[in-house]
Chain A
Amino acid sequence: MDRRGFLRAATGVAAGIGFSATVSARPARATPAAMDEAIRKVVGAAPVTKGRVTLDLPPLSENGNAVPLAVRVESPMTPDDHVRAIHVFTEKNPQPDVASFFLGSRAGRASVATRIRLADTQTVIAIAQLSDGSFWSASATVVVTLAACLEDG
């Protein structure tokens, strides 16, 4: 083997080791399939319709450790017709569940806000459960430049 060939082979091996080390150092990831499963656990067999829910997330976040999230649901919030719960799920965090908020007709307005962690650029889904048993959803994609959960501490 000549010198050039040797160097090329050595770089390939080094790159291979580096790559596998990076992959194994990452925590387990939820997958879109895991998210679907988590959603099914909440909604059961009921259909989830897009609409009535507004999910506010920044399109680009520099820091995945605290991403502002706000969910609003169009609802008169009367005893007969109100939002019972709002559930938030992510696609690629280590686990798909983010939070569940339980409201009632006494909330007056179906609107909640918090700050969440995002481990990667991904889609976030908010699902509202109404008093008539129907489910409505909205989704948003956030580009994350500094991911949460991956840094050692």
Chain B
Amino acid sequence: MASALINVPERARRGEVIEIKTLVSHPMETGYRRSQVGAPIPRDIIRRLVCTYNGAEVFRAELHPAIAANPFISFFTVAAESGTIAFHWTGDNGFTAMESVAIAVD
């Protein structure tokens, strides 16, 4: 199971723009490399990250092999209400990882 790191402020004022940082462990094998015996190494990457805030999608990223291993992605969102911010990564070979964090909005 992949491990993911999420950095979201625990508390925010209503309407405040907050930064969200995400990191997930994954080799992001490009599919362009060859093994030592010359056989091509098949592609194995994370294709997509979807971020939902209380069920509504606020951010989505489509990734290609040019994203470095252990993809780090940061973005912003408006702290609208207290609740849950959820992250869902999906990729090749049935890869899937989920993580969610709680946020309190005053």
Contacts and interface: CB of A to CB of B under 8 A. Distances in A.
A107 interface: yes
Interface in B60-94: 60-69, 71-78, 80
B77 A116 contact: no
Contacts of A113: 72-75
B68 A108 contact: no
B31 to A, nearest CB: 8
Contacts, number: 107
Interface string A82-95: 00000000100111
Q: Is the interface of A mostly helix, strand, loop or mixed?
A: loop
Interface in A34-79: 65-67
* Majority-rule SS of B interface residues: strand
A115 B72 contact: yes
A100 B63 CA distance: 7
Interface residues of B, number: 33
Nearest to B72: A115
Contact of A149 (B33, B71, B77): B33
B101 interface: no
Interface of A: 27-28, 65-67, 90, 93-95, 97-104, 106-118, 148-149, 151-153
18 contacts: A27-B33, A28-B32, A95-B64, A99-B63, A101-B62, A104-B58, A106-B53, A106-B56, A107-B59, A107-B77, A108-B17, A109-B76, A111-B75, A112-B74, A114-B67, A116-B68, A149-B30, A152-B34
